[in-house]
Amino acid sequence: MNETVLDALQYYGAATATIAALIVSLNLGRRITGWAFILFVTSSVALIAWGFLSEDSEGIGLQNIALLGINMVGVWRYLFSKHKPRD
């Protein structure tokens, strides 16, 4: 795989996860938190691809498969569910 593509996947995944974590930590409201989880989903997808396309990075790929599921729950909970999250 092209090193430039692998680097782009790796750094995109890291940067978007950091931005999403900042947004969630700021507690700016339900809708914005939901969009932060969308960023987490794209980060997980990028890091899954990077993890399985790079040598010796399968652990990150496997970890992000689990995180993708968790992040999808966040998207559902904050953007689609009618129930209010507990404080």
Would you list the domain boundaries of the chain? 3-80
Residue 46: CB atoms within 10 A of its CB come to 21
Nearest to 31 by CA among 80, 67, 73: 80
Distance CA 26, CA 20 (A): 10
Query: Within its chain, how far is the Cα of 13 from the centroid?
Result: 7
Task: Give the predicted TM-score (pTM) of the model.
Answer: 0.92
* Confidence category of residue 87, pLDDT binned at 50, 70, 90: low
The length of the chain, given as a count of residues: 87
pLDDT for 14 equals 98
Q: What is the pLDDT averaged over residues 2-15?
A: 97
Please, what is the average pLDDT of the chain? 95
